[in-house]
Amino acid sequence: MPFIIDYFYWHYTSAPMEAFHIWRNLVWFIVELFSITQLTKAFFSPWKRMTEEGHKAWDIEGWASDMIVNLISRLLGATLRSTFIIIGIVSLIILMVGIVVFYIFWMLSPAIVVLSFSYGFFLIF
């Protein structure tokens, strides 16, 4: 009988805390994998630092060309960064839903096992 008490103590106290620590590490991993904080800080930076500069001030055509290349590089950077940020946030949402489903299943699993055995016993007789 003490085994059952120990099991329920572990099942409802220790194991959920260990699962929480694992969940926290997974959240950190996803945030670092997709570099969400770094990408949001450098959202409008040029992609791969590709910029054009160095034309003389009186060269209006060169200046306009530099502005267009820099604008395209910044738009490309913002587009790709927003794509990675969105993928990271979607991954975090999937992880959150998964952990909620896990905790619900974890808390109900002893009752599910007992009900399954009871139902199986009922079907036999």
Burial class of 116 by CB neighbour count within 10 A (0 to 12, 13 to 18, 19+): exposed
The confidence score (pLDDT) of residue 52 equals 61
Q: Domain residue spans in the chain?
A: 2-124
pLDDT in tens, 95-118: 999 999 999 999 999 999 999 999
Mean pLDDT, rounded, for 57-61: 71
Q: How many residues does the chain have?
A: 125
Residue with the larger pLDDT of the pair 94 and 43:
94
The answer, yes or no, to whether residue 43 has pLDDT greater than 90, is no
| Whether the Cβ atoms of residue 106 and residue 16 lie closer than 8 Å to each other | yes
Location of structure tokens 């975090």: 92
pLDDT in tens, 16-39: 999 999 999 999 999 999 989 888
The confidence score (pLDDT) of residue 93 equals 97
CA 122 centroid distance within chain = 44
Q: What CA–CA distance (Å, rounded) separates 117 from 95?
A: 31
The confidence score (pLDDT) of residue 48 equals 63
